[in-house]
A and B are shown apart, each in its own frame.
Chain A
Amino acid sequence: MKIRMTAITTAALCLGLAAAAVAQDNPVAKREQMMKQVGASVGALGAIAKGEKPYDAEAVKAALTTISTDMKVFPDNFPAGSEVNSAAAPAIWDNMDDFKAKSMKLASDADTLLASMPADQAGVQQAVQTLGANCGTCHQTYRLKR
């Protein structure tokens, strides 16, 4: 488990770089990288929540900031017709306003948490629950396994 978390953190760093380098003009790659970063950030919080890693205010702040930053621009990477070769559901383009609202909701939940930083393991557990509820709500309607 330790190894896995280190791997996730390392992966998050690499992805951050890769996202910047590779995904410039490919919206599918760009949004999938963002989702991977968001996933890795929740993973970093999850490790603290589960007690696999000690509480670390800097790590918590970094994770929440990544989620907030990514989710504010995430919906900008869905030009018409870009569901091809991706897990994005066509329903996104029928309900773009709702899709954007769901993305912003996750960003603002992260902002709220940043404003009153979770101060210990219990706080991080709470944060993971709050953030996590957003993932399923959006994936239920807007992501398809292909």
Chain B
Amino acid sequence: MASTWSKIAAVGVAVIGLGAVTAWALTKPEPHPESFWANAGTPDLAHGEQLFWAGGCASCHAATGAEGDALKVMSGGRALPSPFGTFHIPNISPDPNVGIGGWTLAQFGNAMTRGVGPNGEHLYPSFPYGSYVRMSPKDIGDLFAYLKTLPASSNVARPHELGFPFNIRMAVGGWKLLYFSEAPRVELASADEKIRRGQYLVEGPGHCGECHTPRNALGGFESGKWLAGGPNPEGEGKVPGITPSGPIGSWSEADIVNYLETGFTPEYDSAGGAMVEVQKNMAHLPKSDLEAIAAYLKAVPAL
């Protein structure tokens, strides 16, 4: 009898062990090897700066309320509320001790496109690497070089305040297994070069879907609802849809470009909420990029 129990127990332990091993295998952090980052080439700082604005790094990593030149100090410290708890944004200034000054390109690239931190740990997807994964090694090299030209800051952000089980970084592996993918968010049958450029900017660095696409309870995008709008993930109110059947369906492409450039809608209402900072970032992009974004928003499925 005792031996039966111990056999069962042993099998149970083995099964649990196997489960854990399988789970680990499926959900462990998966950085790209060093060699993947070796061909980034000579950095193009001007392109790096464009990616900095397109990616909206300042909207999260600059200090609360920063304006003008202060937007380029990546001191971290902002609190980012979410349904899972409060994230405190880290310092990514070139400070060698508390920023990313001592990081290699591979470490930076793996954070940006694999969601893997410098010590091989999972990063939380509140850092929108689920979008940034669409950036090429060259993009990453240009952006990294640009970030290194910005002022250093010695600020150390507070630890995140997250509830169980979200406070366990391993749990992020499950999220990645379910939702982390570099596949296009929508298949566009007859996309010309302009629309494809818009697709890259919106689905990649611009991470527009992170706010404009509704999420399920696990924080993944609801399928088939790309850019359809939904409750504001950061608090009260809602985020409008930006597909052709949303409120901007009646806007021309020029109206969309003008909104991203100036913040004014065709009715001379002005952008509000989190879109204000996004709009200010987008105003730094070349007009051709804003036109590409507008063309893409007209081409996505109406939801």
- Enumerate chain A interface residues (CB-CB to B < 8 A): 4, 8, 39-40, 42-43, 46, 87, 89-90, 132, 135-137, 139-140, 143-146
Contacts and interface: CB of A to CB of B under 8 A. Distances in A.
A139 B268 contact: no
Nearest to A39: B268
Interface stretch (B126-134, B139-147, B273-281): B273-281
A145 B268 contact: no
Interface SS of A by simple majority: helix
A137 B239 CA distance: 18
B272 interface: yes
B236 A143 contact: no
A132 to B, nearest CB: 6
Nearest to A135: B270
The interface size bin for chain B is 20 to 34
B263 interface: yes
A126 to B, nearest CB: 13
A132 B265 CA distance: 12
A137 B263 CA distance: 11
Contacts, number: 58
A139 B272 contact: yes
22 contacts: A4-B266, A39-B268, A40-B268, A87-B272, A89-B236, A132-B264, A135-B263, A136-B276, A136-B279, A137-B276, A139-B270, A139-B273, A140-B272, A140-B273, A140-B277, A143-B272, A143-B273, A144-B232, A144-B273, A145-B237, A145-B238, A145-B273
Interface in B233-282: 236-240, 262-264, 266-274, 276-277, 279-280
Given A39-B268, A145-B238, A145-B240, A140 B262 contact: no
A91 to B, nearest CB: 9
Interface SS of B by simple majority: loop
Interface string B208-246: 000000000000000000000000100011111000000
A100 to B, nearest CB: 18
Residue among A42, A89, A90, A145 with the highest chain B CB neighbour number at 10 A: A145
The 8 closest A-B pairs by CB, nearest first: A139-B272, A144-B237, A135-B270, A43-B268, A140-B276, A143-B272, A39-B268, A136-B276
Contact of A46 (B237, B240, B268): B268
A42 B268 contact: yes
Contacts of B270: 39, 132, 135-136, 139
Given A144-B237, A145-B238, A145-B239, A139 B264 contact: no
B240 A136 contact: no
Contacts of A42: 264, 268
B215 to A, nearest CB: 17
A145 B229 CA distance: 11
A144 B264 CA distance: 16
Contacts of B240: 145
A17 B5 CA distance: 86
A139 B271 contact: yes
A132 B263 contact: yes
A140 B59 CA distance: 13
Given A136-B263, A136-B270, 18 more contacts: A8-B268, A42-B264, A43-B267, A90-B236, A132-B262, A132-B263, A135-B270, A136-B271, A136-B272, A136-B279, A136-B280, A139-B270, A139-B271, A140-B274, A140-B277, A144-B237, A145-B237, A145-B238
